[in-house]
């Protein structure tokens, strides 16, 4: 049986997924459906907390066959409420003179596993330590706060990684908070239909 670990940053994200997949909480912020080989880890928000908590998990539990990161993301211009599949992720704070901007060549920017159909848009993502409200990036991209840390660890431990992000705003903190009451934006369980339809879970 393939072992799959879902990762979300926030409790409100994780409990939607865990409840739908009939997972039970086996430790604080860790849920499991042992019959299906599924687990879900809530890491906390931000690259540092994510790196710490995922590293602790892997040290204690060993590596899964696949990690799937689910959560909300901002975007330059992708419609709010739309799901996207992440192709590659970069560290938004990596901007050092003489180095390629946003890219750590030592790891963490490898290609992610993608769903092989044309129904879901594939985009690149930039992980930031804070909410992105303006950027010099002109391409259609997503912004999150955790994925690059997950990618670094998956690269290090040779774990397949997939990420599905739901767009919550277009570079606007106001939009994010205004959309909190909209189920069509902040529900996440519809991603499970995408994963099931494409035989990922």
Q: pLDDT-derived band of residue 23, with 50, 70 and 90 as boundaries?
A: very high
CA-CA-CA-CA torsion sign (192, 193, 194, 195): positive
Q: Which residues contact 106 (CB under 8 A, 6 or more apart)?
A: none
Q: pLDDT-derived band of residue 101, with 50, 70 and 90 as boundaries?
A: low
The predicted model gives 146-167 an average pLDDT of 94
pLDDT recorded at residue 185: 73
Under 8 Å between Cβ of 168 and 76: no
- In this prediction the pTM is 0.90
Specify the higher pLDDT residue, 94 or 168: 168
Number of independent structural domains in the chain: 1
Task: Provide the token pair at 141.
Answer: 């991209």
pLDDT recorded at residue 109: 59
Residue 193 belongs to what domain range? 4-197
The predicted model gives 166-194 an average pLDDT of 80
Q: What is the CATH number of the domain that holds 165?
A: 3.40.50.1580
Specify the higher pLDDT residue, 119 or 193: 193
- Cα 52–48–63 angle (5° rounding)? 35
How far apart are alpha carbons 3 and 24 in whole angstroms?
Answer: 16
The count of C-alpha atoms lying within 13 angstroms of the C-alpha of 162, restricted to the half-sphere facing its C-beta, is 21
- Cα 140–109–69 angle (5° rounding)? 75
Of 114, 69, 120, 106, the closest CA to residue 88 belongs to 114
């Amino acid at each position: 049986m393939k072992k799959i670990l879902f990762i979300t940053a926030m409790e409100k994200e994780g409990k939607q997924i865990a409840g739908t997949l009939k997972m039970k909480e086996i430790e604080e912020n860790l849920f499991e459906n042992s019959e299906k080989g599924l687990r879900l880890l809530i890491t906390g928000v931000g690259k540092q907390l994510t790196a710490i908590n995922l590293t602790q998990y892997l040290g204690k539990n060993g590596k899964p066959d696949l990690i799937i990161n689910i959560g909300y993301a901002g975007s330059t211009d992708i419609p709010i409420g739309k799901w996207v599949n992440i192709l590659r992720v970069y560290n938004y704070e990596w901007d050092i003179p003489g180095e390629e901007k946003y890219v750590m060549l030592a790891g963490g920017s490898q290609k992610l596993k993608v769903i092989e159909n044309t129904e879901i848009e594939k985009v690149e993502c930039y992980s930031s330590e804070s909410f992105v409200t303006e950027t010099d990036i002109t391409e259609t991209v997503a912004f999150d706060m955790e994925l690059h840390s997950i990618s670094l660890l998956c690269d290090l431990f040779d774990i397949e990684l997939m990420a599905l992000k739901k767009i919550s705003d277009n570079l606007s903190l106001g939009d994010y908070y205004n959309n909190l009451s909209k189920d069509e934006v902040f529900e996440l369980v519809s991603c499970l239909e995408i994963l099931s339809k494409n035989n990922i879970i």
